[in-house]
């Protein structure tokens, strides 16, 4: 009787793991197919677009770029200059110094001739205390507002920026990101071309800028990163943005707009209460809350997504920093999924409740836990001599070959669409990263996600220090 029970358990386990792996592959493939189809359509449609039309239009949508800064003294001057140089008429830049411990605020004051204003601060969204609001006495920087505040985290700093802004749209960015100069033109178009339903948010694609050449805050040459870890992250981003989010956007099921770059309707953000300061996944949480707010109040809306690479960021180059980043992402996902657990299989939230939420729960949050369980049970089988090596090897090989195939599909899609990587060498480097990723990178990502779970359970909060190498080393090249 005992043997029969064990056998049944083994059979269930085998089929569960196999079905889970196959369902992951199937869902990725379906999403990729929808993405490629939509991407092609988007590119065809935008082939004839003349974005400069907006430069001559006095009443194009007014946008505030909000950039929270914490200890960014090394690069803040150049980053702000780069933001001010963006091509658009109706925009301003709000830099929020989130109680930096370095000399960021002094540098900003000196570099941009800032003087304190007596502008009243209306905290529609409650925030930490404001120390001062500064504007430049130099007309060349008239678009710049700097807010100095007590440290309260990224979400709190963004909320301050939202409160300060007087424009109908806000673009929340990381101050160290490199933006394409026509980024606001593209975002504005997304708002303007919608017929009927108001656009409450637009997400864009983030790309990795490690080893790329940057000059005066402008990306002038795109290269595949030298560092293998960041090169693998290039692939990760390509897969996520080109083969994943595009499909979710097409199905109106987008649950995340990256914190590094996104446009929002300021009024709706304020009505929703702004960024949640109690979660480290404030970017995902905000968009889920905004959508929930619109649905629960029976308001028509749409969330858009621009697949063009518009924002370039620096990826972690060491396992230590990557681990912090990924465990934080896991905590953020857990928190958002928990806060909005009402979505789960709830038809009231349409595709969000019936597909997006369950997908995130199973394939984003639970997947690493399932992988760990699979590994532990396999080890138990091995210990008791129950492991079927042929089955085990076939399963591992199946998952490995699919992972490689999917990465190569992402590279092919990139080459067929945006063609940002210029040389054969880049293609070889990225392909090699695709081959090595499942062996050297994926296990670590699973570990980091599990660590995130552990941190959440044990009550660890906060972001942890995210030391960056900076684009400076590439600028010298």
Partner 1 sequence: MKLILKSDQFDNLLLILWSIILVFLTLSLLLFILTLVKKARRIRRDKIKRRYQEKINRILFRFMFESLDMKRTVRIFKRYFNQKGRLFALITTKSLIELHRIYNGDYQKKLEDFFVESGLSEYSIKLLESRNWMYKVEGIRNLSELSYYEGAQQIKEHLSNKNEMVQEEAILGMIRLKGLDELMDLKDMDIYLSDWLQANIIHIVQSKNFNKPNNFSALLDSKNPTIQLLIARMAQYFQSTEITADLNLIISQSTNLKLRHQMSTIVENLNSIKI
Q: Containing H/E element for 34?
A: helix 2-46
Q: Which stretch binds partner 1 (CB under 8 A): 108-116, 242-250, 358-366, 416-424?
A: 416-424
What's the Cα-to-Cα distance from 421 to each of 20, 47, 234, 435, rounded to whole Å? 34, 20, 11, 18
What is d(CA 198, CA 192) in angstroms, rounded to the nearest whole number?
Answer: 9
Q: Which is nearer to partner 1, 130 or 395 (CB)?
A: 395
Q: Which stretch binds partner 1 (CB under 8 A): 192-200, 253-261, 300-308, 445-453?
A: 192-200
Q: Which is nearer to partner 1, 84 or 183 (CB)?
A: 183
What is d(CA 389, CA 287) in angstroms, rounded to the nearest whole number?
Answer: 45
Mark residues 418-457: x for contact with partner 1 by CB under 8 A, - for none.
-x----x--x---x--------------------------
Alpha helices in 47-151 (DSSP H): 76-84, 104-111
Find the binder of partner 1 among 1, 2, 47, 458 (CB under 8 A).
Answer: 47
Burial (0-12, 13-18, 19+ Cβ within 10 Å), 195 = exposed
* 387 near partner 1, judged by CB under 8 A: yes
* DSSP conformation class of 129: P
What is d(CA 426, CA 412) in angstroms, rounded to the nearest whole number?
Answer: 12
* 122 near partner 1, judged by CB under 8 A: no
**Minimum CB separation from partner 1 for residue 58, in Å?**
8
* 297 near partner 1, judged by CB under 8 A: no
Q: Which stretch binds partner 1 (CB under 8 A): 53-61, 122-130, 224-232, 256-264?
A: 53-61
b/e sequence 81-112, b meaning 16+ C-beta within 10 Å: ebbbebebbbbbbbbbbbbbeeebbebbbebb
* 37 near partner 1, judged by CB under 8 A: no
Mark residues 396-415: x for contact with partner 1 by CB under 8 A, - for none.
-xx--xx-xx--xx-xx--x
What is d(CA 206, CA 237) in angstroms, rounded to the nearest whole number?
Answer: 7
Mark residues 55-94: x for contact with partner 1 by CB under 8 A, - for none.
-xx-xx----------------------------------
Question: Using an 8 Å Cβ cutoff, are 215 and 475 in contact?
Answer: yes
Mark residues 341-380: x for contact with partner 1 by CB under 8 A, - for none.
----------------------------------------
Q: Which is nearer to partner 1, 141 or 421 (CB)?
A: 421
**Quick one: how many helices (H) and strands (E) in the chain?**
17, 12
Q: Which is nearer to partner 1, 2 or 465 (CB)?
A: 2
Rounded to 5°, angle at Cα 126 from 121 and 131: 45
199-208 and 302-313 strand pairing:
parallel
Three-state secondary-structure class, residue 177: coil
* 23 near partner 1, judged by CB under 8 A: no
What is d(CA 378, CA 404) in angstroms, rounded to the nearest whole number?
Answer: 23
* 381 near partner 1, judged by CB under 8 A: yes
Q: Which is nearer to partner 1, 115 or 380 (CB)?
A: 380
Find the binder of partner 1 among 118, 120, 166, 195 (CB under 8 A).
Answer: 195
* DSSP conformation class of 316: P
Q: Which is nearer to partner 1, 54 or 214 (CB)?
A: 54
**Minimum CB separation from partner 1 for residue 391, in Å?**
7
Rounded to 5°, angle at Cα 293 from 292 and 296: 80
User: By CB under 8 A, how many residues form the interface with partner 1?
Assistant: 46
Closest listed residue to residue 259, CA positions, set 328, 197, 320, 321: 328
Q: Which is nearer to partner 1, 101 or 389 (CB)?
A: 389
Alpha helices in 98-181 (DSSP H): 104-111, 154-164
Q: Which is nearer to partner 1, 14 or 27 (CB)?
A: 14
What's the Cα-to-Cα distance from 358 to each of 184, 289, 293, 363, rounded to whole Å? 33, 16, 19, 8
Find the binder of partner 1 among 129, 193, 221, 296 (CB under 8 A).
Answer: 193
Q: Which stretch binds partner 1 (CB under 8 A): 52-60, 91-99, 119-127, 364-372?
A: 52-60
* 250 near partner 1, judged by CB under 8 A: no
* 45 near partner 1, judged by CB under 8 A: yes
What is d(CA 64, CA 148) in angstroms, rounded to the nearest whole number?
Answer: 17
Question: Using an 8 Å Cβ cutoff, are 283 and 262 in contact?
Answer: yes
Q: Which stretch binds partner 1 (CB under 8 A): 143-151, 248-256, 336-344, 388-396?
A: 388-396
Positions that interact with partner 1 (CB under 8 A): 7, 10-11, 14, 44-45, 47-48, 50, 53-54, 56-57, 59-60, 189, 191-196, 381, 386-388, 390-391, 394-395, 397-398, 401-402, 404-405, 408-409, 411-412, 415-416, 419, 424, 427, 431
């Amino acid at each position: 009787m005992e043997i029969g029970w064990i056998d049944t358990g083994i059979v269930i386990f085998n089929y569960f793991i196999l079905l889970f792996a196959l369902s992951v592959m199937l869902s990725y493939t379906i999403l990729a197919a929808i993405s490629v189809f939509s991407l092609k359509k988007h590119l065809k449609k935008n082939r004839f677009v003349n974005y400069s039309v907006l430069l001559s239009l006095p009443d194009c949508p007014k946008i505030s770029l909000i950039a929270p800064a914490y200890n960014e003294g090394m690069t803040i001057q150049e980053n702000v200059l780069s933001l001010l140089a963006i091509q658009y008429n109706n925009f301003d830049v709000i830099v929020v110094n989130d109680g930096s411990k370095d000399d960021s605020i002094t540098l900003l004051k000196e570099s941009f001739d800032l003087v304190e204003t007596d502008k009243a601060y209306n905290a529609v969204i409650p925030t930490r205390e404001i120390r001062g609001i500064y504007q430049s006495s130099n007309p060349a920087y008239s678009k710049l507002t700097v807010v100095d505040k007590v440290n309260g985290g990224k979400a709190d700093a963004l909320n301050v920026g939202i409160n300060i802004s007087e424009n109908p749209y806000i673009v929340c960015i990381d101050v160290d990101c490199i933006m394409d100069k026509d980024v606001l033109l593209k975002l504005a178009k997304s708002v303007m071309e919608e017929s009927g339903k108001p656009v409450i948010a637009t997400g864009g694609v983030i790309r990795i800028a490690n080893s790329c050449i940057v000059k005066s805050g402008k990306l002038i040459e795109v290269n595949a990163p030298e560092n293998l870890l960041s090169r693998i992250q290039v692939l990760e981003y390509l897969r996520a943005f080109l083969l994943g989010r595009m499909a979710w956007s097409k199905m109106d099921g987008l649950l995340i707009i990256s914190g590094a770059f996104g446009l929002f309707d300021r009024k709706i953000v304020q009505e929703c209460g702004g960024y949640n300061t109690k979660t480290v996944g404030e970017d995902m949480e905000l968009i889920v809350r905004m959508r929930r707010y619109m649905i629960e109040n029976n308001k028509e809306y749409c969330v858009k997504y621009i697949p063009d690479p518009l924002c370039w960021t620096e990826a972690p180059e060491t396992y230590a920093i990557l681990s912090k980043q990924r465990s934080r992402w896991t905590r953020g996902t857990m928190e958002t999924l928990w806060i909005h657990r009402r979505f789960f299989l709830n038809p009231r939230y349409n595709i969000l409740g019936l597909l997006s939420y369950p997908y995130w729960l199973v394939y984003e949050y639970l997947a690493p836990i399932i992988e760990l369980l699979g590994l532990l049970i396999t080890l138990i089988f091995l210990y008791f001599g129950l492991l079927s090596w042929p089955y085990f090897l076939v399963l591992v090989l199946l998952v490995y070959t699919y992972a490689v195939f999917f990465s190569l599909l992402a590279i092919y899609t990139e080459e067929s669409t945006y063609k940002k990587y210029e040389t054969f060498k880049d293609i070889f480097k990225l392909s090699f990263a695709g081959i090595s990723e499942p062996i050297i990178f994926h296990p670590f990502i699973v570990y980091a996600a599990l660590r995130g779970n552990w941190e959440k359970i044990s009550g660890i909060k906060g972001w942890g220090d995210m030391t960056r190498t900076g684009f400076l080393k590439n600028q010298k090249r």
